[in-house]
Amino acid sequence: MSNSLFIDIGSYQKQKDGEDCFGDTIYSKKIPEERRVISILSDGLGSGVKANILSSMTTRMAMKFMEDNTDLLRSSEIMMDALPICQIRKISYATFSIVDSELEGKTRIFEMDNPRYIFIRNNKSLAIKGREFSSPKWKDRSISVSQMTTQPEDRIILMSDGVTQAGLGNKRYPLGWGRQGCIDFVLSELEKDPHISSQNLAQKIVEEALSKEIDKKAGDDISCVSIYFRTPRKLLVLTGPPFDEDKDKEIADMVAEYDGKIAICGGTTSNIIERELCLKCEVDKSSFDTEIPMASTMEGVDLVTEGILTLTDAYRMLKEGIDRKPNVASVRLVNLLLGSDRIDFVVGTKINVAHQDPSLPMELEIRRNIVKKIFRLLQSQYLKEISVRYL
Amino acid sequence: MEKVKVKICCGTSCFVMGAAQIQVLEFAPPADIADKIEIEEARCMNHCKDTTAKYNRGPFVMVNDELIEEANFEKVVNKIREILNQEK
Ligand code: FES
């Protein structure tokens, strides 16, 4: 597997006080075939429903153009033509910022009239010179394009002017919190927690902006997208004995050679690894729970659990939230899954005859099915990169 | 006196058949046998895959060398007491 970057994207929004819907729109999309991630933030003129329509039209169009690699100047003309024109200001008003990142590191940022993005590398905010373009048709609007090669630990932050103008009119911030205020805040947060997830950072920025406002009421839509480039945190999930016993050695080698965290889910599977790698596996009694079999510890392996019941429960909690004690095997599995960016599932397909016994008091899922449900959820809802191998 | 070894299978099928209730032995054993037993949780001991038996006869527990089928808390405790009495 290549050692490309993983891109962790998070966003947070607060609508203008008194409005029912967001006037800003955020839309992010991964295009796995092209190893590319696109994230767009658009701010519609005004607030509420009208702004919402303007900004969502803009993001949708922009996403489509980006995906199709349409020339940007051309596409922005089309967008400006398509949007309704403000009667007073005579402009079709929705601003946008677009980040288009390739996992190998090339990133381009397109901006029109939003506050400038923030780019952070080595705990400093770097100003990157962008090139300005404008269309002969819409002379008073210009688009700035910047390009950079991203490295692990870089961060990009997009925001609507609700962030930079937060507190406007407030005695302490007559001109608003400002972009610099936001940069200072982000840097101090990163000092406290250098690996903070994008989601948490975006939320913190928006909440901080809100705290600057008079009576903590948002005077405008406040939105933030945070993007965090990092070396992927890898996890191998091994579950089930291989159909063919000759493969036992192969899965043991995978465990021995894997360059990331490892979880083994299944009694027979752990027996195989224990035997093949001559490791000792011991029950961890602190994980006792009446519904989920206890976890075990094995040297070099981050988690060892029972199979089907634990996986089924982990799936349930991925959907409904964690509701058991932190030491319980299934909770530990969920936390490992959520803390990883790229998860490699290796699924043994041997059917356990005992599980098909009608006298069992409950129905047991077939391993393949439950694993499929888990990885689909991790992909769609948690944007994890997944690979699956059946043996 | 040697402790009685109790090996509780906590494999999937034994667990759903009720092994968790037997594990109580470990955390809250009856006073008279509390310090006379040694508990071990095992992974599937393969008894559940015995295709000659028509139905699953789990949960399976080993008390010393004896296999208890369709085990439950009482059955296991009785077995332990029986062994302890013999040894007296
Ligand atoms: S699960 Fe207990 S013997 Fe198989």
Confidence of residue A155 (pLDDT cuts 50, 70, 90): very high
* Dist. CA A228–CA A296, nearest whole Å: 34
Q: Which two tokens stand for residue A212?
A: 């600057």
Section A185-196 average pLDDT:
93
Q: Which of A353, A270, A362 is nearest to A313 (CA)?
A: A362
In a domain, B88, yes or no: no
Q: Which residues 207-246 of A are in CB contact (within 8 Å) with B? A: none
Find out whether the beta carbon of A362 lies less than 6 Å from any atom of ligand 1.
no
Identity at A142, one-letter amino acid code: S
Interval A214-259: pLDDT, tens: 888 998 999 999 999 988 889 999 999 999 888 999 999 999 999 9
Taking only the tens place, the pLDDT of each residue in A289-331 is: 889 999 999 999 999 999 999 999 999 999 888 899 999 999 9
Number of domains comprising chain B = 1
Sheet holding A36-44, edge to edge: A24-31, A36-44, A94-102, A106-112, A142-149, A131-134
The structural domain count of chain A equals: 2
What's the CATH number where B8 sits?
A: 3.40.30
A226 & A241 share domain: no
DSSP letter for each residue of A236-289 = EEEES--SSGGGHHHHHHHHHH-SSEEEEE-HHHHHHHHHHHT--EEE-GGG--
Of B10, B55, B58, the CB nearest to A293: B10
Residue in B10, B48, B56 nearest the CB of A294: B10
pLDDT of A91 above 60: yes
CATH of the domain at A345: 3.40.50
Distant-in-sequence, close-in-space partners of A142: CB < 8 Å, separation ≥ 6: A112, A132, A133, A134
Residue A251 lies in a domain: yes
Q: Is B85 exposed, middle or buried (0-12, 13-18, 19+ CB in 10 A)?
A: exposed
Note whether residue A1 is domain-resident.
Answer: no
> In terms of residue numbers, what domain contains A100?
6-230
Q: What is the DSSP letter of A134?
A: E
Judgement on whether residues A222 and A238 belong to the same structural domain of the protein:
no
Residue of chain A with shortest Cα separation from B23: A290
Ligand 1 centroid to B84 CA: how many Å? 26
In whole angstroms, what is the distance from residue A120 CA to residue A186 CA?
A: 9
Is A354 a domain residue? yes
- Is the domain of A241 the same as that of A162? no
Interface A-B: count of C-beta contacts within 8 A: 70
What is the extent of the structural domain holding B37? 4-79
